[in-house]
A = this chain, B = another copy of it.
Amino acid sequence: MTRDLREAGLTQQRPVVRRAASIKDVAAAAGVSPTTVSHVLSGNRPVNEETAARVRGVVNRLGYVPASLARSLQAGSTSVIGLLIPDISNTFFAELAKGAEDAAHDLGYGLILCNTEFDADREDRYLGMIRSRFIDGMVYASGSPPSRRRLEALMGKFPIALADEEVEGLRGALIAGADHEAGGRLVGEHLRALGHRRALMLTGPRDLRSGAARAHGFVQAFGGEVVERVGDFKEDSGYRLVAELLDAGGFEDRTAVFAANDLMAFGALAALREAGVSVPGDVSVVGFDDIRAASLVSPSLTTVHQPAYDIGRTATAQLLQYVSRGEVPPASRHTLPVELKVRGSTAPPAAR
């Protein structure tokens, strides 16, 4: 249902955007040179107060706003950086983005959010922004699997920082992220202590080191028998993998599921519920991230808390330190601590 108010006579008639006032227009109207206008506005050199007042008057009257493009072209930088995230509806990244935004804001930079939906095409487009110098730098928080080579080529030439993610085989990167392996270990110890011996592990995409580190820490600390299935960090894949395994009878006497992130854990919960499997009565479920919904679902989800906000903030602050000096950041690693949140989705396995 679309109603066009033009027929109601409530409108302008599609005015074409007319050319905005330029510094020359201001100069002409004020009877000075563009140089002087620039100096008045930037305060870069002193200008006679009377003249300055006149210029400011004209600026207001004409609604003049300097064209940032021209300014940036001349300055050689835009004072804007990007934050590339794979899935904006995952609130983990939303929190991370807040941290990044705050850090950028504090340092006088603009931050633009680039959401890729795990899509290589979009990632390319957004990385193009940095190659064409539309932005001064990029905080890269995970991404689609085939990104490694592209990233590697860019990393030495442009200011890029990795947040929450290591990309397999990538060297020389500035990284800020949680201690994924320690998180995995916490989960392994927790489930083992409860008495579980056979578990299902839902990992993230193979090429993302973060997921691999979680799995590694888990397997090592858990000690029991672990079956792994590869997911993609989205809710659907958690649902699908568990449902398939249940259908195929492959679940057998497994009593615990560790999903490499909360979203997949939600999917697992849904699949178990539909199959009539009780959580945590029959099967315990653990996630990773501790997104907002983790404490809202029923049963509430035992999970590993990641300091999403701090990760975003640290990665960005670190990156900007170099960007502002026109440097490419050196390799370094900032590891932030994680914490196990025990909630309602884990319990000792039922006696049999």
The CA of A6 and the CA of B327, in the complex, are separated in Å by: 15
Give the contact stretch, choosing among A46-54, A108-116, A204-212, A243-251: A108-116
Residue of B nearest to A95 (CB): B89
A38 on interface, CB distance cutoff 8 Å: no
Chain A contact patch, size range: 35 or more
Residue of B nearest to A333 (CB): B3
The CA of A132 and the CA of B68, in the complex, are separated in Å by: 5
Is there an interface contact between B159 and A17, defined as CB atoms closer than 8 Å? yes
A87 to chain B, nearest CB (A): 9
- Which residues of B have CB within 8 Å of A122? 101, 105
Residue of B nearest to A64 (CB): B131
- Residue-wise, chain A 69-97 has the 8 Å CB interface mask toward B (1 for contact) of 11111000010100000001101001101
- Which residues of B have CB within 8 Å of A329? 14
**Taking the full assembly, how many copies of this chain does it contain?**
2
- Which residues of B have CB within 8 Å of A101? 115, 117, 122
Is there an interface contact between A326 and B2, defined as CB atoms closer than 8 Å? no
A158 on interface, CB distance cutoff 8 Å: yes
A351 on interface, CB distance cutoff 8 Å: no
A323 to chain B, nearest CB (A): 9
- Which residues of B have CB within 8 Å of A13? 330
Residue of B nearest to A20 (CB): B133
Knowing A68-B132, A296-B296, the reply to whether A14 touches B110 (Cβ < 8 A) is no
A298 on interface, CB distance cutoff 8 Å: yes
- Residue-wise, chain A 316-336 has the 8 Å CB interface mask toward B (1 for contact) of 000000100111111111110
- Which residues of B have CB within 8 Å of A115? 97-98, 101, 113
- Residue-wise, chain A 1-26 has the 8 Å CB interface mask toward B (1 for contact) of 11111100011111111001000000
A134 on interface, CB distance cutoff 8 Å: yes
A336 to chain B, nearest CB (A): 8
Is there an interface contact between B78 and A73, defined as CB atoms closer than 8 Å? no
- Residue-wise, chain A 111-135 has the 8 Å CB interface mask toward B (1 for contact) of 0111101000010011011011110
Is there an interface contact between B133 and A15, defined as CB atoms closer than 8 Å? no
- Which residues of B have CB within 8 Å of A134? 68-69, 78, 80
Is there an interface contact between A15 and B94, defined as CB atoms closer than 8 Å? no
The CA of A66 and the CA of B134, in the complex, are separated in Å by: 10
Is there an interface contact between A158 and B17, defined as CB atoms closer than 8 Å? yes
Residue of B nearest to A119 (CB): B105
Is there an interface contact between A17 and B327, defined as CB atoms closer than 8 Å? yes
23 residue pairs of the A-B complex, CB under 8 angstroms, read: A1-B334, A2-B333, A14-B322, A15-B327, A17-B327, A17-B328, A20-B133, A63-B157, A65-B131, A65-B133, A67-B132, A69-B73, A69-B78, A70-B73, A94-B94, A97-B115, A101-B117, A101-B122, A110-B126, A266-B296, A296-B297, A296-B298, A297-B297
Residues of chain A touching chain B, judged by Cβ–Cβ distance below 8 Å, are 1-6, 10-17, 20, 63, 65-73, 78, 80, 88-89, 91, 94-95, 97-98, 101, 105, 110, 112-115, 117, 122, 125-126, 128-129, 131-134, 156-159, 171-172, 266, 292-293, 296-298, 322, 325-335, 337
